[in-house]
A and B are shown apart, each in its own frame.
Chain A
Amino acid sequence: MNALRSAGVNRDNIVVMSDEPFEEYSFGHAEPSVAMPWLAVLGGLVGGTGGFLLARLTQVAYPIVTGGMPIVAPFPTAIVTYELTMLGAVLTTIVTLLITAKIPKWKQELYDPEVTRGKILIAVIDPADDARADLEDRLRNAGADEIKSTGRFSAI
Chain B
Amino acid sequence: MAQKTPEQINEDLLRPLSGTSGRYLIVLAFLAGIVIAALCSFFWQVYAGLGVSGLRSPVFWGFYITNFVFWIGLSHAGTLISAILRLANATWRRPVTRCAEVITVFALSIGATFPVIHLGRPWLAFWLFPYPSERGIWPNIRSPLLWDFFAINTYLISSVTFLLLPMLPDLALVRDRAAGWKKKVYSVLALGWTGTPKQWNRLERAMHIMAIAVIPVAVSVHSIVSWDFAMAPVPMWHSTIFAPYFVAGAIFSGIAALILAMACLRKFLHLEEYLLPIHFENLGKLLLVMSLLWFYFVFAERLTAWYGNDPSEMTVFWVTQTGSFSPLFWLMVLCNFVIPFPLLAIKKTRTILGTSIASVTVVIGMWLERYLIIVPSLSHKYLPYSWGTYRPTWVELTITAGTFAAMVMLYMIFSKLVPIISIWELKVGLREEAHPAPALAPSHTQPNEVGAD
A residues near B (Cβ < 8 Å) are: 1-2, 5, 11, 15-31, 33-34, 36-37, 40, 51, 54-55, 58-59, 61-62, 64, 70-73, 76-77, 79-80, 82-84, 86-87, 89-91, 93-94, 96-98, 100-108, 110-111, 113, 115-118
Contact = CB atoms under 8 A, between A and B. Distances in A.
B97 interface: no
Main secondary structure of the interface of B (DSSP, over half): helix
Interface in B378-409: none
B374 to A, nearest CB: 22
Contacts of B165: 94, 97
B210 interface: yes
B193 to A, nearest CB: 6
Query: Size band of the B side of the interface?
Result: 35 or more
A31 B198 contact: yes
Contacts of A91: 157
B21 interface: no
B428 interface: yes
Contacts of A15: 196
A133 B197 CA distance: 26
Nearest to A28: B197
B212 to A, nearest CB: 8
A-B residue pairs, 10 tightest by C-beta? A113-B176, A21-B200, A104-B191, A105-B192, A62-B138, A26-B452, A97-B206, A83-B150, A101-B202, A116-B173
| Residue of B168, B192, B209, B428 ringed by the most chain A CB atoms within 10 A | B209
Contacts of A107: 192
B214 A79 contact: no
A82 B192 CA distance: 34
Nearest to B443: A29
Nearest to A142: B453
Contacts of B446: 29
Contacts of B250: none
B224 A24 contact: no
B448 A27 contact: yes
B437 A24 contact: yes
Nearest to B227: A79
11 contacts: A16-B196, A19-B195, A20-B195, A22-B200, A36-B205, A54-B130, A58-B130, A80-B146, A84-B154, A106-B188, A115-B194
B141 A96 contact: no
Contacts of A80: 141, 146-147, 150
A104 B243 CA distance: 40
Contact of B195 (A17, A30, A87, A96): A17
A101 B431 CA distance: 24
A17 B200 CA distance: 9
Contact of A58 (B138, B142, B187): B138
Interface string B208-236: 01100110110010001000000000000
Contacts of A96: 202, 206
A78 B452 CA distance: 50
A50 to B, nearest CB: 12
Contacts of B187: 106
Contact of A89 (B133, B140, B213, B437): B213
Given A83-B151, A102-B198, A103-B193, A59 B10 contact: no
Interface string B172-190: 1100110000000001100
A23 B201 contact: yes
B137 A64 contact: yes
Nearest to A60: B138
A93 B210 contact: yes
B199 A93 contact: no
A24 B448 contact: no
Contacts of B448: 5, 11, 26-27, 29-30
B332 to A, nearest CB: 30
B22 interface: no
A17 B138 contact: no
A34 to B, nearest CB: 7
Interface in B109-143: 130, 133, 136-138, 140-142
B202 A34 contact: yes
B134 to A, nearest CB: 12
B348 interface: no
Contact of B444 (A29, A94, A104): A29
A31 B172 CA distance: 22
B192 A103 contact: yes
Contacts of A54: 130
B201 A31 contact: yes
Contact of B172 (A23, A94, A116): A116
A118 B6 contact: yes
A2 B428 CA distance: 23
Contacts of B191: 98, 103-105
B205 A115 contact: no
B194 A108 contact: yes
Nearest to A61: B138
B158 to A, nearest CB: 5
A40 B216 CA distance: 15
Nearest to B150: A83
Given A26-B453, A90-B210, A21 B204 contact: yes
B173 A103 contact: no
Contact of B192 (A2, A33, A87, A108): A108
B198 A100 contact: yes
A111 to B, nearest CB: 5
Nearest to A95: B206
A22 B197 contact: yes
Contacts of A20: 169, 195, 200, 424, 427-428, 431
A24 B451 contact: yes
